[in-house]
A and B are shown apart, each in its own frame.
Chain A
Amino acid sequence: MEGIVRFFENSGFANATPGHLLMILIGMTVIYFAIRNEYKPLLLVPIGFGILIGNIPFVEHAGLHLGIYEDGSVMNYLYMGVLKGIFPPLIFLGIGAMTDFSTLISNPKLMLLGAAAQLGIFLTYLGAISLGFTNPEAASIGIIGGADGPTAIFLSSKLAPHLIGAIAIAAYSYMALLPVIQPPIMRLLTTKKERRIKMRPPRSVSKVEKIRFPVLALLLTGFIAPGSLPLLGMLFLGNLLKESMVTKRLADTAKNTIIDIVTIILGVTIGASTQATTFLTRESMLIFVLGATAFMISTAGGVLFAKIMNIFLSAENKINPLIGAAGVSAAPDSALVVQMEGLKADPDNHLIMHAMAPNVAGLIGSAVAAGIMMSYLL
């Protein structure tokens, strides 16, 4: 009889709290939207399932070594890759091997849009300070505005490891919700005439230029913000593997095998880190509010800067301000949002190629921002 009672006491039924049930419900909702609406399924399916894994109730710290926060548990070992900042650079390696910087090389002025759209990071940082977060916590929350999951995870693993779960979930959720968040801001800040602007087609880019880009870009950004080296080093290495054309096997491994394995482990562990006992706090709720604000400010920053640039550009070189919204990184989702909005204004105006330039510039910009914050606050 005692054995049965003990078995029941160790079961999930005996240890369930309303928090666990709420988190399980959230996990199932995430999985539902990821599959039903295809909202970032590659990330949200593992994250959603991770939320389920992390919120099955059990007796914590009873020597069972089950929980992600319990030393010696399997999930804890996997989570080390997140906590030690190992996974984000590996993801950047894969992203580099998948990214084509041609549009950026052909129209370098669009790099400035990628910088402008980082406004959300720094304003949200100030917002988080005003809400009572500490300096490192505020920096980790602000980086959500860079709309780049690996960068957000990397910075928070260094500055505020206890907030990784909430920050990562907020970043990826809002990235999935870009088609909902961005269009109203884009329409609000542009006129119909501006949204119809047709941009000059990008010029062709030679192989040498494509090879030169990762090398020069690494040297430049690395010297300015060495803190961004783990991310940008791997990003540009991945890109060089792709563009050099002599390391096809390595590029293929980086953009398929490595990124797939890391994405699964990263997603599951991030999801599992949202254990109700540690996740359902006032701080988590505030992070979600600040994250949404960061995305909105970044979008507005990109669009407004594109409008400012147009003041100085000749009539044939004008840029469609919608592409400024793609500066928030979140490649390629925000570029797709720009394409859809452009088509709504003019069904013949395809902006995706142009939008990819600020999109990848935003990736560099947010990594540089993370590097600066890290070197300033560590």
Chain B
Amino acid sequence: MTTVAQLLPIDLSAIGKEHLTLAVIGYSVVFLSLFLLFLVFTVVPKFFTHNLRVKIQKEGGAEKAALVNRMVPGEVSAAIAVAISLYLEELHDQETAILTIKKVGKSYSPWNSKIYNVINFNGFQR
């Protein structure tokens, strides 16, 4: 009978120094790349927000400046979205009552041409 060890002949001694190096360096570089992205995208927005705050403060709006980058709670966003949706739907309550039927143009193709039909019924007309 075939055993699991025969099906999966694991030989840990086959893992050499170079394999471990690749695994460790590889994983570290993946981490490093995403860590750098994390750093950049944590710092950059703060930098831009700071600039905006300074600009608004110069224009004399200290209170306005404090509002920069303030979080809008999800509930507020949802309420605004519902309000806009309801408002837009109400606009469609009264239709213009003008119905247009668009003519669909049928482009020519030899694949749908009557003259290439296998059975040309025109020939059977009496």
Q: Identify the A interface with B (CB < 8 A).
A: 104-105, 108-109, 111-112, 114-116, 118-119, 121-123, 125-127, 129-132, 135, 138-139, 200-201, 203-204, 208-209, 212-213, 216-217, 220-221, 224-225, 286, 289, 361, 364-365, 368-369, 372-373, 376-377
Measured CB to CB, the closest approach of chain A to B79, in angstroms, equals: 13
* A376-B26 in contact given A131-B9, A132-B9, A201-B74 (Cβ < 8 Å): yes
Q: Which residues of B contact A104 (CB under 8 A)?
A: 41
Q: Which residues of A contact B20 (CB under 8 A)?
A: 126
Q: Is the CB of B19 within 8 A of A129?
A: yes
Q: Is the CB of A216 within 8 A of B40?
A: yes
Indicate if B91 sits at the interface (CB-CB under 8 A).
Answer: no
Q: Is the CB of B71 within 8 A of A203?
A: yes
Q: Is the CB of B34 within 8 A of A114?
A: yes
Indicate if B1 sits at the interface (CB-CB under 8 A).
Answer: no
Q: Is the CB of B25 within 8 A of A221?
A: no
Q: Which of B27, B30, B40 has the most CB of A within 10 A?
A: B30
Q: Is the CB of A130 within 8 A of B31?
A: no
Indicate if B36 sits at the interface (CB-CB under 8 A).
Answer: yes
Q: Is the CB of A112 within 8 A of B38?
A: yes
Q: Is the CB of A224 within 8 A of B27?
A: no
Q: Is the CB of B36 within 8 A of A220?
A: yes
Q: Which residues of B contact A203 (CB under 8 A)?
A: 69, 71-72
In the bound complex, what is the Cα–Cα distance between A205 and B42 (angstroms)? 13
Q: Which residues of A contact B42 (CB under 8 A)?
A: 108-109
Q: Which residues of A contact B41 (CB under 8 A)?
A: 104-105, 108, 111, 213, 216
Q: Is the CB of A122 within 8 A of B27?
A: yes
In the bound complex, what is the Cα–Cα distance between A266 and B67 (angstroms)? 50
Q: Is the CB of B14 within 8 A of A123?
A: no
Q: Which residues of A contact B24 (CB under 8 A)?
A: 122
Residue of B nearest to A209 (CB): B45
Of all A-B residue pairs in the complex, the 7 with the closest CB atoms, nearest first, are A201-B74, A108-B41, A115-B34, A122-B23, A111-B34, A115-B31, A108-B38
In the bound complex, what is the Cα–Cα distance between A116 and B74 (angstroms)? 29
Residue of B nearest to A138 (CB): B19
Chain B positions 27 through 55: 1 when the CB is less than 8 Å from some CB of chain A, otherwise 0: 10111111111101110110010000000
A to B CB contacts below 8 Å, 23 in the list: A104-B41, A111-B41, A112-B34, A114-B34, A115-B33, A115-B34, A115-B35, A119-B27, A122-B22, A129-B19, A130-B11, A131-B8, A132-B11, A132-B14, A135-B22, A139-B22, A208-B48, A216-B44, A225-B29, A289-B8, A361-B34, A365-B30, A368-B33
Residue of A nearest to B21 (CB): A376
Bin the interface of chain B by size: 35 or more
* A129-B14 in contact given A135-B19, A213-B41, A289-B8 (Cβ < 8 Å): yes
Q: Which residues of A contact B22 (CB under 8 A)?
A: 122, 125, 135, 139, 373, 376-377
Q: Is the CB of B26 within 8 A of A204?
A: no
Indicate if B10 sits at the interface (CB-CB under 8 A).
Answer: yes
Residue of B nearest to A213 (CB): B41
Measured CB to CB, the closest approach of chain A to B8, in angstroms, equals: 7
Indicate if B15 sits at the interface (CB-CB under 8 A).
Answer: yes
Q: Which residues of B contact A364 (CB under 8 A)?
A: 33-34, 37
In the bound complex, what is the Cα–Cα distance between A165 and B104 (angstroms)? 45
Q: Which residues of B contact A289 (CB under 8 A)?
A: 8
In the bound complex, what is the Cα–Cα distance between A203 and B46 (angstroms)? 13
In the bound complex, what is the Cα–Cα distance between A121 and B23 (angstroms)? 9
* A109-B38 in contact given A122-B26, A220-B33 (Cβ < 8 Å): yes
Q: Which residues of A contact B26 (CB under 8 A)?
A: 121-122, 125, 369, 372-373, 376
Q: Which residues of A contact B101 (CB under 8 A)?
A: none
Q: Is the CB of A125 within 8 A of B19?
A: yes
Q: Which residues of B contact A118 (CB under 8 A)?
A: 27, 30
Residue of A nearest to B29 (CB): A372
* A126-B29 in contact given A112-B34, A361-B34 (Cβ < 8 Å): no
